[in-house]
A and B are shown apart, each in its own frame.
Chain A
Amino acid sequence: MTAIDTPITEDHSAEHDVPAKLYGLIGEFDNVTDIIAAANTAREAGYKKMDVHSPFPIHGIDDAIGIKQTILPWIVLFMGLSGMTTGLLLTTYTMADWLPQPGFVPENFEGYTFLISGKPLVSLAAFIPVIFELTIMFSAYTAVFAMFLLNKLPLLSNPLLKSERFRRATDDRFFLAIDARDGSFDAHKTADLLRNMHGCLAVELIDDD
């Protein structure tokens, strides 16, 4: 039997020497019902910076952890509208002969005034594909890269991965991780809270160095 199979064998938080640089505490559970109840308890106790790690997505976990709605859609909307404006300005400016041509713009970039199949120089219908594609391009790239930024990716290493016990988060265990940066965090009290939760198998202190 390995150490991680044994329920509550080593409990670092009980020791008096709490490391100076602390990442947080993790509590181990072995089923979905307990982890959701645990997340609810922690949220009701006032913790905000916490996360649940599980081998598979859990319905309703967002509400239990109290995850705020992401601002990603607003960023994408803003960038989509920017793309639309860019497309409109680009097509109009490159085709028009009546827009202001400021001195700093090289002559090569001024209105081309191409006459195409007898259409007016500024024909919105002809510009729509360009505007559409730029809108899509701005939104799609923003959606991907803003998601990276919001998730603080790429993250090459996470202190949680140093824990032997935590490896089972990809297999058959559920972990509630409470961040040390949380305002209500106190190594001893938080450890007690986790330990007293229903179904908690182990509590482990994760140091951050």
Chain B
Amino acid sequence: MAHGPKTIEEADKTPIGASAWPAWRTCVVIAIVGTVLLATALVSKNPGVVGGGLPRLAFAYLVGYCFFLAVTIGALALVLLTTLFRAGWVVAVRRVPETFAANFVWVGVLGLPIILMGFLDSEGQVYPWAMSQKNLEAQIHEAHHLLEPHDGHDEAHGDTNPTAHVQPVADDGHGHALDPASDGLHALTGQPMGAAYPDEDEAARAIQRANYVGLLGYMLDKKRWNGAIEGDALVPVGKGMVVPWYDPFFYAVRIVLYFVVLSAMGMFLWKCSVKQDASADPALTTRREWWAPPMTVLFALGITFLAFDVMMSLDPAWYSTMFGVIFFANSFLAGIATTILVCLALQKKGFLKIVSVDHYHDLGKLLFAFTFFWGYVSFSQFMLIWYASLPETTYWFELRGATTVPTAPQAGSGWQWMILVLLFGHLIVPFGFLLSRHVKRNLTLLSIAAVWMLLMVYLDLFWYIMPQYRSPAVTFGLPEIGAVLAVGGVVFALFFGRFRQHAPVPHNDPRMHESAALDTSAWAPIYH
């Protein structure tokens, strides 16, 4: 037979043990270097290559953290979904994503600063909802003064913009209207608002900011929620819910809950698998598979709300139901790419002898599929918001440069190139590249694709998170690189620490023979 089932070598059944120490040490060194680089955010107040203070530190950390959160979620998804489908092919490479998933609890520990931000960030510099009521009112007050016509055009204001006072959707509690849509329009049509600014762009930006604060005030004002503002019948129930949802204590409880559930899944799947190494008991596989469907439901809910709470809530006024799905697409890509690269690295060191090009081919197919899935859901989110053209949602894309509207230079001009890089680099180019089976079966080309997709996932998360810190300028420098190295170093050190203790291949899995005999080389036979 051309491709007989391979026998599993002893090396694949014995834990790699001390051979993992050099890799572990490297990871620890990288983590330390990364932490130092991350700390350079504190050297000055001006955000540049370094500096920017605590908010810069927090945002840089958040991007790096979310990237490795995505890797871990992707690894868990790979194990969970292949268990759900009772897939045989994955068994040979499964120990790698399984080990990442088992470390989910430590990823949760790395996320503690995010919970703390909810309690400590009373100025709302990272999470605006964490702002204290006092600071919120001060900001609204300031915004109001900015939006107020400066040269006594009060009557004219009413004439040119009759809607502004008819339906005050935002109110600072002093009877002044802060209508984000009409005032923004008003400002950009050349009315004297913001005349204090010499530079037109500067003025427009300040007004945009003020409008946004108005929107935030409208959503986050605790007095409004408590019914302290009289005659305020305009708050729709759903939007009023923003206040209790972002109570810091409730927020902390939710984050902990997500991590408890997801960690339990990762640990359960890994535990069953390593127990089977010793006992070869097929009941362990049955138990995993029995739990897979309910776990998949919990997983979907868990990561969706995790994405909402950690990333989307950076802008509590904006919402997209697609957000969690896009984060899942990114996570799965990151998980697959990491699995490919870690398996290749381990094979280079002489481990995982059972893994063949056929397994990489299958992983490559998933990488290819989810490249397109990411494009599909990302485009869906963009197109709906672009088509509906509601000011309360489109500003989010404007801030990120995804617009051709002439006012864009005031908003996200620095980010305009990035949306094109994402369109071509995250979707079109890798789609064309990975389309061919020859690429997926060529390990050099496949590893290039995997590294590239990891970069693109990082860029996508960066594009989601960083404009909330600063736009139109793009902030990237040592703290951002440092955060990736720091969190990545810890995640990989934990990976090697766990991976070394058990056999690198779940050799006693009842589907092991299926994976060992995997052959994806066949063309559809055609008889000419």
A-side residues, CB < 8 A to B, are 32-33, 36, 49, 51, 59-65, 67-70, 72, 77, 117-119, 125-126, 128-129, 147, 150-151
Contacts and interface: CB of A to CB of B under 8 A. Distances in A.
Contacts of A59: 1-3, 517, 519, 522
A65 B383 CA distance: 50
Given A32-B1, A60-B1, A70 B383 contact: no
Given A60-B2, A69-B523, A70-B524, 18 more contacts: A36-B1, A59-B3, A59-B519, A59-B522, A60-B519, A61-B522, A62-B521, A62-B523, A63-B521, A67-B525, A67-B526, A67-B527, A68-B528, A72-B526, A118-B389, A125-B382, A150-B526, A151-B526
Contact of A70 (B388, B389, B526): B526
Nearest to A40: B2
Contacts of B519: 59-60
Contact of A125 (B2, B383, B521, B523): B383
Contacts of B379: 128
Contacts of A117: 387-389
Nearest to A150: B526
Interface string B346-381: 000000000000000000000000000000000100
Contacts of A151: 526-527
Identify whether the interface residues of B are mostly helix, strand, loop, or mixed.
loop
Given A59-B517, A59-B522, A60-B519, A128 B1 contact: no
A126 B386 CA distance: 9
Given A125-B383, A126-B383, A70 B3 contact: no
Interface in B385-436: 386-389, 435
27 contacts: A36-B2, A51-B527, A59-B1, A59-B3, A59-B522, A60-B519, A62-B521, A63-B2, A63-B521, A67-B523, A67-B525, A67-B527, A70-B523, A70-B526, A72-B524, A72-B526, A77-B435, A117-B387, A118-B389, A119-B387, A125-B382, A125-B386, A125-B387, A128-B379, A128-B383, A147-B524, A150-B526
Nearest to A37: B1
Contacts of A32: 1
Nearest to B517: A59
A125 B381 CA distance: 11
Given A33-B1, A59-B522, A62-B523, A49 B389 contact: no
Interface of B: 1-3, 379, 382-383, 386-389, 435, 517, 519, 521-528
Contacts of A70: 523-524, 526
A131 to B, nearest CB: 11
Contacts, number: 56
B310 to A, nearest CB: 28
Contacts of B525: 61-62, 65, 67
B466 to A, nearest CB: 24
Chain A CB count within 10 A is highest, among B382, B388, B389, B528, for B528
Contacts of A118: 389
Contacts of B524: 70, 72, 147
A40 to B, nearest CB: 9
Contacts of A62: 521-523, 525
What 5 pairs across the A-B complex have the smallest Cβ distances? Answer: A60-B2, A59-B519, A60-B3, A70-B526, A51-B527
A125 to B, nearest CB: 5
A69 B3 CA distance: 18
A129 B380 CA distance: 9
A191 to B, nearest CB: 21
Contacts of B435: 77
Contacts of B388: 117
A60 B1 CA distance: 7
A64 to B, nearest CB: 6
Contacts of B387: 117, 119, 125-126
Contacts of A126: 383, 387
B499 to A, nearest CB: 31
A91 to B, nearest CB: 14
A141 B526 CA distance: 18
A119 B403 CA distance: 12
A118 B382 CA distance: 17
A118 B524 CA distance: 49
A151 B527 CA distance: 7
Contacts of B2: 36, 59-60, 63-64
Contacts of B517: 59
A36 B3 CA distance: 11
A133 to B, nearest CB: 12
B374 to A, nearest CB: 15
A65 B2 CA distance: 11
A117 B1 CA distance: 64
Contacts of A36: 1-2
Nearest to B435: A77
Contacts of A61: 522, 525
A32 B5 CA distance: 14
A150 B528 CA distance: 8
A16 to B, nearest CB: 30
A82 to B, nearest CB: 16
Contacts of B386: 125
Contacts of B383: 125-126, 128-129
A27 B256 CA distance: 68
Contacts of A128: 379, 383
A71 B137 CA distance: 68
A118 to B, nearest CB: 7
A155 to B, nearest CB: 11
Nearest to A147: B524
Contacts of B389: 117-118
Contacts of A49: 528
Nearest to B438: A69
Nearest to B436: A73
A72 B524 CA distance: 9
Nearest to B524: A70
A129 B384 CA distance: 12
A89 to B, nearest CB: 19
A178 B522 CA distance: 21
A150 B527 CA distance: 8
A36 B435 CA distance: 31
B257 to A, nearest CB: 38
B419 to A, nearest CB: 12
Nearest to A67: B525
A36 B517 CA distance: 17
